[in-house]
Chains A and B, each alone.
Chain A
């Protein structure tokens, strides 16, 4: 009985730490293809979660709509570096919208000038994302996903072209 308890406990801990992620296509414009990620254990994908939180929030809707206006323009103009706030670390591709003052942050992976993986975001209450566990979690999810994606690209399981990501894989993070 004791052994069964510890096996179950270990499995529960592992299940919480290891999650499976799927890459989903969102939409594409003249110069950029948008993707998002979905944890297989969740009902909504990460971009959808951000939209659900703020689309009908009377107070934060102007900030949400401003971010969505930038997403619309990025689809037509490309995911150029100068349109984003640099977040994450030097060796990753995590960026955030918007650059200018806003109560919200939306975190993304800018993989090329034409590929953007949109993650989750939230209200920015602290000076840096590292001081907020929720925001840091969103950034870390994208950092981990990028590492796995690039690892799979190196082994030939994923193809990343200038404009698209070709894969049907799920990623364990």
Chain B
């Protein structure tokens, strides 16, 4: 199979570092949330109902594209009884 001539790493490097880091953190938080949900055995709908949110909000949190506020992180940490992030 031939390789496409796409300078992917060069394109990534054109993106401001802080923006790349923002996305990396958002993916990490979404992955942590996903693993806590699996550990608890609950799906998106059940989590949304338990914390009084809409399921599409949980979908956004799990997408890796959400800009989490401290308030949301604190609320999720309190619900799961475990830290979502550590500082």
Chain B residues with a Cβ under 8 A of chain A: 1-6, 8-9, 11-12, 14-15, 19-20, 22-24, 27, 30-31, 34, 59-60, 62-66
Contacts of B2 in A (CB 8 A): 22, 24-25
The interface centre, meaning the residue of A66, A69, A83, A167 with most chain B CB atoms within 10 A of its CB, is: A69
**23 A-B residue pairings within 8 Å (CB atoms):** A22-B2, A24-B2, A24-B4, A25-B4, A26-B4, A27-B8, A27-B9, A38-B4, A48-B4, A48-B5, A66-B19, A66-B65, A69-B15, A69-B22, A70-B64, A71-B8, A72-B20, A77-B31, A82-B30, A83-B64, A98-B65, A100-B60, A166-B1
Q: Which residue of A lies closest to B34 (CB)?
A: A82
Q: A69-B20, A73-B23, A77-B64 are in contact. Are A168 and B1 (CB under 8 A)?
A: yes
Chain A residues with a Cβ under 8 A of chain B: 22-27, 34, 36, 38, 45, 47-48, 51, 55, 65-66, 68-73, 76-77, 82-83, 98-100, 165-168
Cα–Cα distance between A24 and B11 once the two chains are bound (Å)? 18
A82 touches B6 (CB 8 A): no
